[in-house]
Structure 1
């Protein structure tokens, strides 16, 4: 069973071709700030990124018809439980119309997967999107009732690291508690308790300073700046 995995990020597009659980080919294509600056919205990058994916597939010597499935990173869609979901036309239209919680490169994954498979019988899926929401009730509380905290994070990596760590410990991840730090162009610091991501900073709103995020800012100074 061959599966193509697509992981678009803020500064790169990552691809991997699997045969069952074995990686056959893995690629990372880096995008410079100048390359991306010509696009007004992230979704406007679709054609450019899809062309890259198709060219890399040619280099791999694989066609869509050779695949059992295409799996994409999921973006900041509506709040969802952790899991694997099918990419359908409704989701694609929501992303294209901007009916998402943020304009982020991870939204492109489902669009590319859909375009690759829409004229075939090959299914397209997304897994553990940015909008995984398993918050405990207390985690939603901020210092202002009108501004509840949102669960937006690097959930895909967080969930995988938890599973890998539990596997290393030879224990069931659903019985363990972890603090997980995802360090990328944005940073997510999460509490993962008994199989659920119960609290995490939204890297777009606050948390640590990161290469493409300001981190938490002084509120008074930000108001004065605006």
Structure 2
């Protein structure tokens, strides 16, 4: 019964939980007032503040960090890496402070885990960082010689849902071919081929289908026209793609419950937007199935929007011919962080070590 303290820093809150084995003993969502965070010029400067509040919360819950076998944290924004459980090393800690993702609160995760482990004992882990990149070569190339596709999405929750399905059917995740769609404010659809995420379509940077707050893909020539129309700055265009596209652009809301309420009240345009989103998600799922040559054991729908029977029903109607559709609504990030640490502590999985080096060095152009 290993004791694992799980840490999940977000933009305005930090989730902390204690697990004994895979049983959650307690979980707390610590809110951080904007006035408290405003005094820190950079995300990394929040580290002592968040650590102090976490320590105080653990004390109030009667939890001694010194009795923890491990501290397991979320991680975002590091260099691309293979999936799995990583033991936080000096290179990861350094990149968390100054690296490419140092502006994202999720990158406080490995810093917090290592600081707690060094002060109280135990080991420090991160699990399936947002920068998991296990793409095949064909998934990387674009029609622009200057641009490559890199993996970005929701690997932690996708893999957690996939592992839940594997456990439910009595098989190992590493022997299954799955298409997993995370349905939230952002949407990602991935091909999980025998334990590796070999391709992903993620709406965060403008790929795939529209999402509640993302634009998704659009004809590139027309997008270039908008960029040079003089109406929008670069920042405003990126905001359209990442924050105010999709449902927000069309309907002024990112809440699936609000959209369904409008549909129930007879709003035909809201119904069209919702139906179009399901249509586009289904296309992405079919595309990921083709990556695995149609050999798909199951299609898994997860994330907050997967609670919607209307949305999952519309998607299922279009893709159930490929494979059975299984629904695991919600998010399992905290459970996944604990489970990953426990797999290593149990000796069931070897920890990986972050190198900070690109997982893909580039294409080799052979000429005769």
Q: Distance in 2 between matches of 1:69 and 1:148?
A: 36
**Pairwise CA distance, 1:143:** 3.0
Alignment correspondent of 1:7 = 8
Question: Is residue 2:200 matched to residue 1:220?
Answer: no
**Pairwise CA distance, 1:120:** 4.0
TM-score, normalized by length of structure 1?
Answer: 0.85
Cα 1:222–1:186 change in 2 (3 A) is: same
Alignment correspondent of 1:129 = 129
Q: Note the aligned Cα RMSD (angstroms).
A: 2.5
Aligned partner of residue 201 in structure 1, secondary structure: strand
Which segments of 5 or more consecutive residues in structure 2 lack a partner in the other structure? Answer: 234-368
**Pairwise CA distance, 1:214:** 5.2
Greater displacement, 20-29 / 196-205: 196-205
Q: Distance in 2 between matches of 1:205 and 1:67?
A: 38
Please tell me whether the aligned partners of residues 6 and 15 of structure 1 are also in contact (alpha carbons under 8 angstroms): yes
Alignment correspondent of 1:163 = 163
Q: Distance in 2 between matches of 1:179 and 1:220?
A: 34
Cα 1:54–1:203 change in 2 (3 A) is: farther
Alignment correspondent of 1:147 = 147
Q: Distance in 2 between matches of 1:70 and 1:50?
A: 13
Larger relative strand fraction: 1
Alignment correspondent of 1:43 = 44
For 1:75-119, what per-residue CA distance to the aligned partner results, in whole angstroms no more than 9, with x for missing partners?
A: 22122211111112222122212x225732221111111222223
Q: Say how many residue pairs are matched.
A: 224
Aligned partner of residue 134 in structure 2, secondary structure: coil
For 1:109-154, what per-residue CA distance to the aligned partner results, in whole angstroms no more than 9, with x for missing partners?
A: 1111122222343211111111111112121122312110111222
Alignment correspondent of 1:53 = 54
Please tell me whether the aligned partners of residues 84 and 126 of structure 1 are also in contact (alpha carbons under 8 angstroms): yes
Q: Distance in 2 between matches of 1:164 and 1:33?
A: 36
Greater displacement, 23-32 / 187-196: 23-32
Alignment correspondent of 2:183 = 183
Alignment correspondent of 2:332 = none
- The correspondence for 1:209, drawn from 208, 211, 218, is 211
Q: Which has the higher contact order (CA 8 A, sep 6+)?
A: 2
Alignment correspondent of 1:18 = 19
Report which of the two structures shows the higher radius of gyration computed on alpha carbons: 2
Cα 1:119–1:102 change in 2 (3 A) is: closer
For 1:4-43, what per-residue CA distance to the aligned partner results, in whole angstroms no more than 9, with x for missing partners?
A: 0112234532222011121111122345667656654432
Q: Distance in 2 between matches of 1:210 and 1:49?
A: 30
Q: Distance in 2 between matches of 1:149 and 1:3?
A: 35
